[in-house]
Amino acid sequence: MTAFPAHVVVREVGLRDGLQSIQKVLPTPQKIEWIRDAYAAGQREIEVGSFVPARLLPQLADTAELVAFAKTLPGLLVSVLVPNLKGAEKAIESGADLMLIPLSASHAHSLANLRKTPDDVIAEVARMRAARDAAGSKILIEGGIGTAFGCTIQGKVEESEILRCMQRLLDAGADRVSIADTVGYANPAAVHDLFTKARALAGEKFWCGHFHDTRGLALANVYAALQAGVPRFDATLAGIGGCPHAPGASGNASSEDLAYMLADMGLDTGIDIEALLELRKKVAGWLEGESLHGALWQAGVPKTFARSGQTVAA
Amino acid sequence: MTAFPAHVVVREVGLRDGLQSIQKVLPTPQKIEWIRDAYAAGQREIEVGSFVPARLLPQLADTAELVAFAKTLPGLLVSVLVPNLKGAEKAIESGADLMLIPLSASHAHSLANLRKTPDDVIAEVARMRAARDAAGSKILIEGGIGTAFGCTIQGKVEESEILRCMQRLLDAGADRVSIADTVGYANPAAVHDLFTKARALAGEKFWCGHFHDTRGLALANVYAALQAGVPRFDATLAGIGGCPHAPGASGNASSEDLAYMLADMGLDTGIDIEALLELRKKVAGWLEGESLHGALWQAGVPKTFARSGQTVAA
Q: Which has the minimum average pLDDT: A74-83, A301-310, B154-163?
A: A301-310
CB contact under 8 A, A314 and B154: yes
DSSP B79-116: EEE-SSHHHHHHHHHHT-SEEEEEEESSHHHHHHHHSS
Task: Establish if A183 touches chain B: CB-CB under 8 angstroms.
Answer: yes
Of the candidates A180, A191, A195, the one whose C-alpha atom is nearest the C-alpha of residue A243 is A180
**Binning pLDDT at 50, 70 and 90, where does residue B189 land?**
very high
Among the ranges given (A174-183, A206-215, B245-254), the one the predictor scored with the smallest mean pLDDT: B245-254
Query: Cβ–Cβ of A216/B294 closer than 8 Å?
Result: yes
Residue A235: beta bridge partners?
A12
Nearest CA of chain B to the CA of A191: how many Å? 10
CA distance A1 to chain B (A): 8
CB contact (8 A) between residue B257 and residue A216:
yes
Judged by CB atoms closer than 8 Å, whether chains meet at A156 and B312 is answered as yes
What pLDDT, on a 0 to 100 scale, did the predictor assign at position A161?
A: 97
Lowest mean pLDDT among A103-107, B134-138, B148-152, B240-244: B240-244
**Is residue A242 within 8 angstroms of chain B, CB to CB?**
no
Decide: B96 and B78 in contact? Cβ < 8 Å: yes
What pLDDT shows up at residue B307? 57
Q: Which of B293, B210, B284, B238 is nearest to B26 (CA)?
A: B284
* Annotated catalytic residue, options B151, B165, B208, B243: B243
The 10s digit of each residue's pLDDT in A12-51 is 999 999 999 888 899 999 999 999 999 999 999 999 999 9
DSSP string, A242-303: --TTSTT--PBPBHHHHHHHHHHTT-B----HHHHHHHHHHHHHHTTTS----SHHHH-S-T
- Average pLDDT of the segment spanning B66-70: 98
Contact assessment for residue B251 and residue B291, using Cβ atoms and an 8 Å cutoff: yes
Q: Would you state the pLDDT for residue B242? A: 64
**Mean pLDDT of all residues in B242-252:** 62
pLDDT above 70 (res A238) = yes
Confidence class for position A312, pLDDT limits 50, 70, 90: very low
Closest CA of chain B from A163, distance in Å? 18
Contact list, B213 vs chain A (CB under 8 Å):
295
Give residue A309's pLDDT.
Answer: 43
Q: Is the pTM of this model over 0.90?
A: yes
Nearest to A217 among B219, B303, B314 (CB): B219
For residue B244, the model assigns a pLDDT of: 57
Specify the pLDDT at position B311.
43
Residues of B in contact with A155 (CB under 8 A): 303-304, 312-314
- Catalytic (active-site) positions of A: 243
Provide the H-helix boundaries in B235-308: 255-264, 273-286, 296-299
Cβ of residue B6 closer than 8 Å to a chain A Cβ: no
In the stretch 118-157 of chain B, residues with CB closer than 8 A to chain A read 149-152, 154-156
Phi and psi for A249 in degrees, rounded to 5?
A: -70, 130
Best of B2, B217, B257, B312 to substitute, by most chain A Cβ atoms within 10 angstroms, is B217
The mean per-residue pLDDT over the stretch A299-304 comes to 90
Q: Read off the pLDDT band of B306 (50, 70, 90).
A: confident
> Binning pLDDT at 50, 70 and 90, where does residue B2 land?
low
Choose between A206 and B154: higher pLDDT. Answer: A206
Residue of B156, B257, B260, B304 for testing the chain A interface, max A β-carbons within 10 Å: B304
A249, A299, A313: residue with CB nearest B184: A299
Planar angle of CA B292, B294, B299, nearest 5 degrees? 120
For position A114, what pLDDT does the model report?
Answer: 83
pLDDT digits (tens, 9 = 90+) for A124-161: 999 999 999 999 999 999 999 999 999 989 999 999 99
What angle is formed at CA A284 by the lines to CA A51 and CA A75, rounded to 5 degrees? Answer: 50
Domains (range + CATH), chain B: 9-299 (3.20.20.70)
What average pLDDT score do residues B216-240 get? 97
**In this predicted model, which residue has the larger pLDDT, B180 or B3?**
B180
A299 and B CB contact within 8 Å: yes
Mean pLDDT over all residues of chain B?
Answer: 93
How confident is residue B113, by pLDDT bands cut at 50, 70 and 90? Answer: confident
pLDDT digits (tens, 9 = 90+) for B153-180: 999 999 999 999 999 999 999 999 999 9
pLDDT tens digits for range B77-109: 999 999 999 999 999 999 999 999 999 999 999
| Per-residue pLDDT at B312 exceeds 50 | no
Query: Region A199-216: what's the mean pLDDT?
Result: 97
**Minimum distance, in Å, between the CA of residue A19 and any CA atom of chain B:** 20
Higher pLDDT, B299 or B312: B299
B58 at A interface, C-beta within 8 A: no
CB-defined contacts A:B, below 8 A: 140
DSSP 3-state of B200: helix
Beta carbons of A299 and B213 less than 8 Å apart: no
